[in-house]
Amino acid sequence: MPTTNALTALKHQLLAECRRIQEEKVNTARQAMLDVQESALEGDTAEEAMESFREVCQRQRDLFARQLDEALTGLQVLRRVPEAKPLPNQAGLGSVVITDSQRFYVSLSLGEIKVEGQPYFALSAFSPLYQAMAEAHSGDTFTFRGKAYRIKEIL
């Protein structure tokens, strides 16, 4: 078991990496939205073709706006992680769950992230994988999609 300082540092690093990835998603969606909007305003084509082009651009802009909204919502979730107080020995927002085959960080569904060269799988508390492990404690086994995981430690 890591020391309290090492555990705090690990959680800060995991949270910082998740924030970095999520902020990148926000910036990408925002820039894509602006680029499409700019494209819609450019061009000297025939009136009808231009109107059709603007409609396509508007749909793309709306798509990027939804992506931006989802990314901003994800950042709001990450802002709540430091205040989360999961139950002792039970996975919750901000927990690190170490199993016999993988390390999980309960935050957002971001897939694999690396901290200090170690892979962690960032998952949401709403994901089916989290739901499978939610009631388990250290030493328990849970199954997800036919695969059994034994929880070694919940930090």
Q: What is the CATH number of the domain that holds 93?
A: 3.10.50
Q: Does 95 lie in the same domain as 56?
A: no
pLDDT at 5: 87
Question: pLDDT (tens digit, 9 = 90+) per residue, 88-106?
Answer: 888 999 999 999 999 999 9
Give 118's strand partners: 115
Q: Could you give the number of structural domains in the chain?
A: 2
Q: Does 95 lie in the same domain as 54?
A: no
pLDDT at 107: 95
Closest Cα partner for 74 from 111, 19, 129?
19
Q: Does 95 lie in the same domain as 63?
A: no
Distance CA 16, CA 8 (A): 12
Q: Does 134 lie in the same domain as 74?
A: no
Does the global pTM surpass 0.85? no
Q: Does 96 lie in the same domain as 60?
A: no
For the chain, give the mean pLDDT. 89
Q: Is the pLDDT confidence value at 3 over 90?
A: no
The beta-strand segments (E) located in the chain are: 96-99, 103-107, 111-115, 118-124, 141-144, 147-154
Q: Does 92 lie in the same domain as 35?
A: no
Question: pLDDT (tens digit, 9 = 90+) per residue, 37-92?
Answer: 787 766 555 555 566 777 888 888 888 889 999 999 999 999 988 888 887 888 99
Q: Does 106 lie in the same domain as 76?
A: no
Domain of 139 in residue numbering reads as 86-154
Domain boundary among 43, 66, 82: 82
Q: Does 100 lie in the same domain as 77?
A: no
Domain boundary among 19, 51, 82: 82
Tokens 């994901």 locate to 127
